[in-house]
Structure 1
Amino acid sequence: MAKIIRIGTRDSELALWQANTVKNKLENLGYKTELIPVKSTGDLNLDQPLYEMGITGIFTKTLDVAMIKNKIDIAVHSMKDVPTALPKGIVEAAVLPRANTLDILIHKGTDFLNEENGIIATGSLRRKAQWLHKYPAHSVVNLRGNVNTRMQKLNDNNWNGAIFAAAGLERIHLKPENFIDLDWMIPAPAQGAMLVVANEDDNFSRKALVHLNDEETSICVHIEREFLKVLEGGCTAPIGALATVENDEVSFHGALFSLDGTQKFEEKSTFSLKNYKNKGREAANSILSKGGKKLMDSIKAKLNS
């Protein structure tokens, strides 16, 4: 009898949408599947900022443990939540075609953008730093929870707006009319992409997932995550990166910000798609050599104090 592929997922509406997308694709290929929802530590603690919880792997750790204990066969993640170093024995098995990469602002009117007392909500150091870089007089408050929870918190508070990933809202049809595309904000590495991981020794599941992999998306997120890995060195920091492909040419834009948004180190480059290897590393090393290393050292010191 053919193996039933057990799909591990967080139990939020968005995570279940992602897992069901993978489930449907596998079943359309003739595979049998079963969903196994698991609640993560990141979903349970909504009051503490992510960086104070040790952000690396906070949304993936529970599923990693379930996979290592053989309770699930594969796990589906928003790729931007996945640490650049996977646990031993767990491997990337498929990167699905990328959705919208933009951050968007859900707002209660845009007049505040020209004023000095704006209040914006986000739980992301990257979004906070970039917002303060553009609007240094505004205040940024912490916002945690799944998409639905954050939308409700925005409605319940006197904030002017909150920042979301467009892809998440579009996937579960929650994107309202009162939004602005933040096309000036560099997204998180791998934003808009879905990753499926599997046990390294599970040849059956890995073979099945090969059919779901989108090579162009996989290359782009590889460049972005390599940039992130070299820059952060295991520490969370305000880092954005985006690689896009057009006519077999890759355009890359990456940046590192100070926590308060006052400092910005960025790198832009264009190169052939067939020469993508090590380009993320090269961009990160360029930033580190221009003063980024000193900034990263200060970020680590502040977050660990």
Structure 2
Amino acid sequence: MSKTIRIGTRGSKLALWQAHFTQDRLREAGIDSELIVIKTQGDRIQHLSFDKMEGKGFFTKEIEEALLRDEIDVAVHSMKDLPTNSPEGLCITAVSYREDPADWLVIRKEKADAQKPLLLPDAAVIGTSSARRKAQMLDLRPDIQIKDIRGNVPTRLGKLRDGHFDAILLAAAGLTRLEISLSEFEVVRFSPREFIPAPAQGVLAWQAREADKPTRRLLKQVHQSAVAELTNLERKVLNLLDGGCQMPLGVYCEKDGEGNFHVWAALANGWDQPVRRCRLSQSTKHGLPERVIEALR
């Protein structure tokens, strides 16, 4: 297949990193590609927090629509932003390696207090627009104040630097991929087993048209099946709860050397509601998402 693959992506620095990463993987497989930048609802609406925006897939819908109109051949997404049910005619064809799935708490140095849990001063102002992060932070430090923050990763760090917040929560994956120096800040690096990430956090998903068999065959060359096994399980929990990426749900799965599955999950009814947690282990993934739901209820 000699045609140039058209890759649809958002225009943020991190989205473009993901798109260039995709181009590099395709180039290694001998495949030419070009980038087509698409603005999404999530990019356009910057004044609302995620939990106040309508529907699901506000970082993916416009890209998926371009795919359905045959304006692009492949959509590259942060998998955690992708609804668990693809629109009719589309499918997730491949997933990437998993970058560090953890969340990091990035704190202004002058605000960090070594005597306090998580280095946060009393009533610290924390920036995040994720209902999941809000709920788990309040679970750890009920005294903190939560303030919504929007924008891409460099924009958020700029707002922290300018003193709008005492600390902000960010995905380690984005900071690592963009190679952003955090030397001017204090950083609390959470374990994903304790501060539980969004399902599939740190993984890229490549989406194509179901009927486009040639493109889907090409994408299979970059697919990481061992990662997919774990992210499918995490996303199945989200799917069973009928939740979007704004649901206060964390699910993280690991597989040990003996082939056993270990799942950590946390769920709240709302960002300001108590967090319920569970940890389950099983030698097979069969029925494990259903057991997680049962334990969280």
Task: State the TM-score, normalized to the length of structure 2.
Answer: 0.91
Q: For the residues of structure 1 that align with 2:190 and 2:245, how far apart are their CA atoms?
A: 26
Partner letter of residue 271 of structure 1?
Q
- Cα distance per residue 1:79-123 (max 9 Å; x no partner): 000011111111011011101011001111321745422110001
Which 10-residue stretch deviates more, 276-285 or 187-196?
A: 276-285
Given that residues 125 and 144 in structure 2 are in contact (C-alpha distance below 8 angstroms), is that contact kept between their aligned partners in structure 1? yes
Say if 2:250 is the partner of 1:240: yes
Describe the shift of the 1:64–1:212 C-alpha distance in structure 2 as closer, same or farther (beyond 3 A).
same
Tell me which amino acid in the other structure corresponds to 1:108: R
More relative contact order in 1 or in 2 (CA 8 Å, sep 6+)?
Answer: 2
Alignment of 1:288-303 (within 5 A): 288=297
Q: Report the aligned-residue RMSD.
A: 1.7
Residue 205 (structure 1) shift? 0.8
Secondary structure, aligned partner of 1:265:
strand
Output the TM-score relative to the length of structure 1.
0.89
After TM superposition, where is structure 1 displaced by more than 6 Å over at least 4 residues in a row?
Answer: none
The answer to whether the 8 A contact 2:19-2:76 is kept is yes
Where do residues 34-53 of structure 1 align in structure 2 (5 Å cutoff)? 34-53=34-53
Partner residue in 2 for 1:140: 146
Aligned to 2:288: 279
Deviation at 1:286, TM superposition (A): 3.3
Conserved 8 A contact 1:228-1:284: no
**C-alpha contact 2:43 2:59 (8 A) present in aligned 1:** yes
Structure 1 residue ranges without an equivalent (≥5) = 289-305
Question: Residue 101 of structure 1 aligns with which residue?
Answer: 101
How far, CA to CA, are the matches of 1:258 and 1:135 in structure 2?
A: 18
- Whether the aligned pair in 1 keeps the contact of 2:82 and 2:245 (CA below 8 Å) is no
What does the per-residue CA deviation read over 1:20-40, in whole Å, with 9 as the maximum and x for residues that have no partner? 111111111111211111111
CA distance in 2, matches of 1:171, 1:72: 24
| Range with greater deviation from structure 2 (202-211 or 155-164) | 155-164
What is the SS of the residue equivalent to 2:97? Answer: coil
Matches within 5 A, 1:68-79: 68-79=68-79
Q: 1:147 to 1:243 in 2, by over 3 A?
A: same
Amino acid at match of 1:56: K
- Which structure shows the higher helix fraction? 1
Which amino acid in structure 1 is aligned with residue 4 of structure 2? I
Which 5+ residue runs of structure 2 have no aligned equivalent? none
| Number of residue pairs matched by the alignment | 286
Identity of aligned residues (%): 34
Structure 1 pair 12–115 and aligned structure 2 pair: CA distance change class (3 A): closer
1:261 offset after TM fit, Å? Answer: 4.7
Counterparts of 1:217 and 1:234, CA distance in 2: 21
